[in-house]
Amino acid sequence: MKGLLLRLSALDADAAAAVRVIAHYEALLSGGAVDPAALVRSTAGLAECPAGLETADGRTVRFGPDGIALPDGPVAVSGSADLGAAGRVWLERPGAPGPLDELVLEWMALAARMADGLPGRAGAPHVADPALVELVLSEREAVEDRARALRLLGLAPELPLRVVAVAGGGASDAGVQAVALLGRSGARGLVRIARVGSLGVALMQRRDGSGSPADELRAVLGERARERGGALDRAGAVRVGVGGAAEPSRAGASWAQARSALRFTVAGDPVEAVADHDALGPVALLAEIPVDRLRAQPDVAALLELSDRAGGGLILAAVAAFCRTGSLRQAAAELHLHHSSVAARLAHAEAALGWRLHDPPDRFRAQLALYARRLADAP
């Protein structure tokens, strides 16, 4: 059935076909590291053309769309993706590339970087033993045990470590979503991913000392939304909290920050779906206030009431975008709306809440109330 996808997309290359391509690889990645032969065979069936993978040591794996292995050496490469130290992947389609070949190759390359037995995998994001990850994050275990878990995960005990928490919406597997996001973001350094409870968790170390991956992850969510034709209800179901950098022996502190940051996120908007604890600054202290007290605060209660009205979610999205950008036109551009539509929604909010959003004090008040409302409503 998946082989029908590109045939359908030739007639209508819309978001539905792209969603199915992404779902194919997310399902493939759900089992952890992928066998190279299984990856190439499934890609050839999906694309309905021969597919291949060449490792850095010269080993080649090729399969036809019927699932039969092919001899070494591609015949006519219609598109390829470089894996760096791990080699390359390609499709062999007669004539021009198919409408979704670029997307197929991107995801094939992501899966190939996690494939078992490929050279050059050590620095690529890959699925780790959840028990070891939980041990690193635990603050109850002995420091020696945590250090041993770090070594077994291939992480460096001398480099700062940052924890990223990923929540998948609905039936989404948070671990798979974490793999897909971190892999597509081109995450640099050492990245180990596992599922801990209901969350996907990534342990990240960068030797160059570069900062948070929050902007990179927002960019990936934006790309996914565009691939799905703006279907933010699905692409935006993923939410990400980024903890601050900490000594590996204190990874539990970054883990707590990542989960706290996750409470500030809002599904459905690639910008708001990712929160960086460091970037929140003193706003992060709101997470220490009991939820009942937040809900009882008059501004927060008014926002919660507005969100329950018909169209209330759209009005609050406009308020959030305007508070974030400080510009009606920039807010409209973020929301892909005409500025007059955003202005009308802001007018509804001002009438309901009694704020003048063009006044900096009221805009600050609104922004603070929006943060508090997220915490009051967070899972």
Q: What is the pLDDT of residue 12?
A: 44
* Angle made by CA atoms 61, 65, 69, in degrees to the nearest 5: 35
Residue 209 scores a pLDDT above 80: no
Residue 19 scores a pLDDT above 80: no
Reference 44, options 26, 20, 68; nearest CA is 68
Return the bridge partners of 82, or none: 88
Strand ranges (E), the chain: 51-54, 60-63, 79-82, 88-91, 126-127, 162-167, 190-196, 199-205, 239-242, 274-276
Mean pLDDT value across residues 10-14: 45
CA 66 → CA 42, 54, 62, 107, distances in Å?
Answer: 10, 20, 12, 20
Mean pLDDT value across residues 170-199: 75
Residue 230 scores a pLDDT above 70: no
User: Is residue 340 very low, low, confident or very high in pLDDT (cuts 50, 70, 90)?
Assistant: very high
Q: How far apart are the first and last CA of the chain?
A: 36
The tokens for 213 are 């991956």
C-alpha–C-alpha distance, residues 207 and 151, integer Å: 16
Summarised one tens digit per residue, pLDDT across range 280-289 is 999 999 999 9
User: Is residue 248 very low, low, confident or very high in pLDDT (cuts 50, 70, 90)?
Assistant: very high
β-pairing verdict for 274-276 and 239-242 = parallel
The tokens for 247 are 């000594």
| Burial group, residue 353, by CB count within 10 angstroms (0-12, 13-18, 19+) | buried
Summarised one tens digit per residue, pLDDT across range 68-125 is 999 877 888 999 888 766 688 999 998 888 888 888 998 888 888 776 555 444 444 5
Domain 126-287 annotated CATH 3.90.550: no
Q: What is the pLDDT of residue 10?
A: 45
Residue 32 scores a pLDDT above 80: no
Q: 136-150, 168-182, 200-214 — which is least confidently predicted?
A: 168-182
CA 54 → CA 34, 64, 119, 126, 254, distances in Å?
Answer: 15, 15, 11, 19, 38
Mean pLDDT value across residues 157-181: 79
| Phi and psi at residue 71, to the nearest 5° | -65, 160
Summarised one tens digit per residue, pLDDT across range 345-362 is 999 999 999 999 999 999
User: Is residue 253 very low, low, confident or very high in pLDDT (cuts 50, 70, 90)?
Assistant: very high
Residues 204 and 189: beta-carbon distance below 8 Å: yes
Residue 270 scores a pLDDT above 90: no
Q: What is the pLDDT of residue 9?
A: 42
CATH topology assigned to domain 289-377: Arc Repressor Mutant, subunit A (1.10.10)
Mean pLDDT value across residues 158-175: 80
Residue 15 scores a pLDDT above 70: no
Domain range annotation of the chain: 4-113, 126-287, 289-377
User: Is residue 65 very low, low, confident or very high in pLDDT (cuts 50, 70, 90)?
Assistant: very high
C-alpha–C-alpha distance, residues 222 and 263, integer Å: 20
Whole-model pTM? 0.71
The tokens for 84 are 């760096």
